Amino acid sequence: MPQVEITIGGRAFEVACQDGEEPFLRSAAVMLDTEASALSAHIGRMPEARMLLMAGLMLADKTAALEDKLREAEARADDLGSRVTALEGRAPARVEVPVVPAHVADTLAEIAARAEAIAGQIEQKLAD
């Protein structure tokens, strides 16, 4: 069983852990050290047990807040999932795309041809 030396609040500790767990232990120790260092900066030196207790409580408070946010996010995700499921069962919304009737397009083409013919006649008269 590996022994890992960690530092929390400026104090060194030897801690045993399972093989392969060393990175997780070091990561947890860094989080606890961050809280303990903040406590020491505000309160000053305190007994080891009190420092560890307070730092642990601060981490527990942060964890509880994150768990609350996670529950809220999961509830929103479930709500959105149920909305999607409800929409999947419905027929798709009817979307109407306006279409120009063929006779209108033919009329516009005829008007454009007449306008071009008139413009051609005007150009011819101006050239004469």
By residue count, the chain amounts to 128
pLDDT digits (tens, 9 = 90+) for 80-108: 988 888 877 777 777 787 887 888 888 99
pLDDT digits (tens, 9 = 90+) for 8-34: 988 899 999 999 999 999 999 999 999
Among 51-55, 56-60, 89-93, name the one with the lowest average pLDDT.
Answer: 89-93
Per-residue pLDDT, 27? 94
3-state secondary structure of 79: helix
Residue 10 to residue 36: CA distance in whole angstroms? 9
pTM over 0.85: no
Pick from 7, 42, 10: nearest CA to 28: 7
Partners of 16 in the β-ladder: 3
Contact 32, 8 (CB under 8 A): yes
- State the alpha helices, DSSP H only, in 13-92: 22-43, 48-88
Contact 35, 59 (CB under 8 A): yes
